[in-house]
Structures are given as C-alpha cells and as structure tokens.
Amino acid sequence: MKQFYRNPRKQQEIIARPVWEFLLKQCYPNIIDVSFDISEDLDKERGIDLSCRFGNGMILYGQTKVLSYNQSHFASVTVEYMNNPRVNEEGDWFNLGCQIYCCGYCSKALAELVNRVNYKLKSYRRFNINNIAEISKESGIDNLIERGETLINWVILDWYKVIEATQKGWLKWYYNKNKISGLADFKYILIEDLPKKCIIATDVFIKGRQNATSNF
C-alpha cells in the first residue's frame, strides 16, 4: 500500500474524491452517502472504486478517473485496455463492472493544489490516505469546489448505455498503444462524440444539450 499512495497519479485521484462526491450529489440529490472505501478485490477485479448509497437503501457502483491538466485539451474518456500488453494482461475494458463511469481532467487550479499536496507529502516518511485527504483540505480543496475550479472536460457516464451503444456500433473508440513496454494502453473516445443517452452529466458542450446537466 505504501507504493500505491506514493504514486502521484493515485494521489491526484484521492485529492479529487470530494469533487466527484459534490458532482454526484448534484446529479442525484437523494444520495445520502458517497464512499470510496471499496474492497481491494472489487477494485482490482471489477475496477470499482466508488459507491453511492441512496435514501431508500439502493446503491450505485462506479469508477473515477482524474487525468492531468496538461492532457485536458484531449477532452476524451479513456479506459484501460491492456494492463500489461507484454503478457496480455487484460485491463478495465474487459473487466469493468461499474454502473457509472466518472472521467475528467484537473483544472489549472486543481493541478497547482495537487502539486502543493505532493510537495508536502515528500516530507512524510510514511503516510496514508487520511494524510492525503487532510493535507488536501488544508490546501484549499473545499474552496476550489465552491468556486467550481476543480475539473474541466469532465463527464459522468451511464456505463451500461456506453456498453450498449458500443455493441451497436454507435461509438467510435480509438486505441492508444503505450510506447513504454509493459505499461498499460488505452481505448478512448471524445466526449463530444458520445450520444446524449450515455451522459448523465458533463461540462463539455454537446450539440442539443446544455452543459453540466443531468437526465435525472
């Protein structure tokens, strides 16, 4: 677990968790709890790192992905295809068992906050997820959420409808092979190319759809 938390990308995703919680509660006002306390087996085997509990007891499972600010111009949804192409180890494309898929890019302000948190963590000989969350809060994550300066080019997808649309040939996925041997490669699709029926909410302009709106 020490190595997991020292991965800057994982730290970035942990820092952004309150952002997804805020956005999901905007989409589903009757959510009473958003939890990232998911079993390692569920995360590893089905790519699930999020649960949303509703007032009537029902639950949604999801995956969250936060990409870097310097990649934000791509404005695409990415899904891990092969975890390790060298040994044909399948990634989330083959195993993902979520109901909602959340993907977005750091804003410039969030990227700067992530850098500040990462810098402070370097002075810790040991740290855990709570340390990351505490330092993130001290560094002003709540203020960024209040000002709406956290994620850009973000989208929350109904993953079942994405699967259905893909099987019917309505979605054009692209393949991105990692140039470094042994590292994961990806499938991706532009957010603006996604059918409206697949989108729960987004901040990306899509013809015939208002921004940051929900079907619910």
> What's the pLDDT at 139?
95
Highest mean pLDDT among 38-42, 76-80, 82-86: 76-80
57 within some domain: yes
Ranges 23-37, 98-112, 122-136: which has the least confidence = 122-136
176 within some domain: yes
| Number of domains present in the structure of the chain | 1
Highest mean pLDDT among 117-126, 176-185, 187-196: 187-196
Rounded to two decimals, the pTM is 0.90
214 within some domain: no
123 within some domain: yes
In SS3 terms, the chain reads as CHHHHHCHHHHHHHHCHHHHHHHHHHHCCCEEEEECCCCHHHHHHHCCCEEEEECCCCEEEEEEEEECHHHHHHCEEEEECEEEHHHCEECHHHHCCCCEEEEEEECHHHHHHHHHHHHHHCCCCCCCHHHHHHHHHHCCHHHHHHHCCCEEEEEEEEHHHHHHHHHCCCCCCEEECCCCCCCCCEEEEEHHHCCHHHEEEECCCECCECCCCCCC
Domain residue limits at 121 = 2-202
**Per-residue pLDDT reduced to its tens digit, 135-173:** 999 999 999 999 999 999 999 999 999 999 999 999 999
Instruction: Give the single-character DSSP code of 91.
Output: -
91 within some domain: yes
Answer with the residue of higher pLDDT: 128 or 156.
156
Whether residue 213 is predicted with pLDDT greater than 60 in this model: the reply is no
**Per-residue pLDDT reduced to its tens digit, 115-127:** 999 999 888 878 8
